[in-house]
A = this chain, B = another copy of it.
Amino acid sequence: MADVKKVGVVGWGTIGAGVVDLLYRKGIPGLELAKVCDLDLTTDRGLTLPSAMLTSNYHDITDNPDIDIVVELIGGIEPAKTIQLTALRNGKNVATANKKLLAKEGEVIFSEVVKLGRKIGIRASFVGAHSFIHELGLVGAEAKEYRRIYAILNGTTNYVLSKMTGEGKSFEEALKGAQQEGFAEANPTDDIEGYDTENKIRILLGLITNSYKYAGQFPVEGIKDIDVQDIKYADELGYAVKLVGVIENNDKVFNVAVQPALVPRISLLGSLQGAYNGTEFEDEYGVVSGLVNPGAGRYPTADTVIKDLLDIAEGRTLPIPSTAAGYKLGAPGDIQRRFYLRFTVLDQPGVLAQITDIFWKFNINIAAVIQKESAQTEFVHIVMTTYKAREEDVHAALEKVNNLGPVKAATKVIRILETSC
């Protein structure tokens, strides 16, 4: 083992407290906690540190010649960006859980790391797929390409969808429950709207393309319009509804999106419960593998930070996007996919025929139909799944369908992803 590396931690919140605890109380061979920075030094973290170790000025860490590695755990763009860049420029290596910063400003951070010949550990920005990142960066990318990644990367949305599925709760009820149980934040926008998943997908995309170029815009859709009704119909058809980050690689043209999707209930992603994260990936040989990890939490995240610190301390390679080399995003409308559709129509004969006639003209073939006998209301649902169809064709067809007289509400559309493990 090399000599002991001194570690400074900026951000003594939930994750920071876990990292500090592991370094200071448990003790990790080869690593020594030197200093901890937080604006709030008085809150009880269940651990008393010598006051000489504490500071509320991050320069005491980033500008401290005794410190070898700076752990940035405050999140957000600034001052996190300045802290990381200052540390790097002052000759230090960095570990971070800051997925927002890496997704938005990765080009600046990663190119600086490469230019200065430093290391940055980013596993903790991505707890839900850390073994994957690890493997990618070590030998995966050298030996092969990834053809397809489907990933559930946000614990809050998965928890909410699990509750809607298991207990038949509405989105609002499930979210409220998640907040009460501490799984969702008071302001859950980043999670619910899919932005958190987007950040992680951007980092993953950078890793598998080895490129820190900002990927441009791709479709990002959250789960707040998911109706418990659709979850029930999906279940009847053998599917679960999940928020899935999609990366599909067709000869360096990437189809990237974050969207709710139906996945087979009996599959790694379909069976993923609670706040867990899961990733299914297919390599260039058609080999499909999967990972399940707790998406967040003090110790899961702290543990991944420690792994990065050990890799840095012992001089091992860390995966980061290291070139500006380009790739293209495909046009979302061109993607061929299966779809779940729920129509709300008047309970009268001939409606199904009108719909299928429009579909026929747009080259959309139907795989399954559920039509229940009418309940108390005058409207009925017709639920369909399609075979693969071009996304733009489906939307064009639905525009026509939604204008039919007996169709009484905009048709619900959810993509179907054919996960395979």
Contacts and interface: CB of A to CB of B under 8 A. Distances in A.
B131 A291 contact: yes
Interface stretch (A92-100, A294-302, A344-352): A294-302
Contact of A307 (B143, B266, B270, B297): B143
A163 to B, nearest CB: 14
Contacts of A307: 139-140, 143
A179 to B, nearest CB: 23
Nearest to A307: B139
Contacts of A270: 271
Nearest to A22: B143
Interface of A: 22, 28-29, 131-132, 134-135, 138-140, 142-144, 265-268, 270-271, 273, 276, 280, 283, 285-294, 297, 299-300, 303, 306-307, 310-311, 316-317, 421
18 contacts: A131-B291, A134-B135, A134-B138, A139-B306, A140-B307, A143-B303, A143-B310, A265-B271, A266-B273, A267-B273, A268-B268, A268-B271, A270-B271, A273-B421, A286-B299, A287-B300, A287-B303, A316-B316
Contacts of A134: 131, 134-135, 138
Nearest to A292: B290
Nearest to A273: B266
Interface of A, helix, strand, loop or mixed by DSSP: mixed
Contacts of A311: 138-139
B294 A292 contact: no
Chain A to chain B: the 8 pairs with minimum beta-carbon distance, closest first: A290-B292, A271-B271, A285-B299, A131-B131, A139-B307, A139-B310, A287-B300, A289-B293
A310 B142 contact: yes
A144 B305 CA distance: 13
Contacts of A138: 134, 311, 316
A291 B292 contact: yes
A134 to B, nearest CB: 6
B292 A268 contact: yes
Given A29-B142, A276-B421, A311-B139, A294 B303 contact: no
Contacts of A294: 287-289, 421
A306 B143 contact: yes
A143 B131 CA distance: 15
A290 B131 CA distance: 10
Contacts of A291: 131, 289-292
A278 to B, nearest CB: 8
Contacts of A293: 289-290
Nearest to A302: B285
A144 B306 CA distance: 10
Contact of A143 (B28, B139, B280, B297): B28
Contacts of A317: 316
Given A266-B271, A316-B317, 10 more contacts: A131-B289, A139-B307, A140-B307, A143-B303, A143-B307, A280-B292, A285-B303, A287-B299, A290-B293, A294-B421
Nearest to A134: B135
A41 to B, nearest CB: 25
Contacts of A29: 142
A134 B136 CA distance: 12
A307 to B, nearest CB: 5
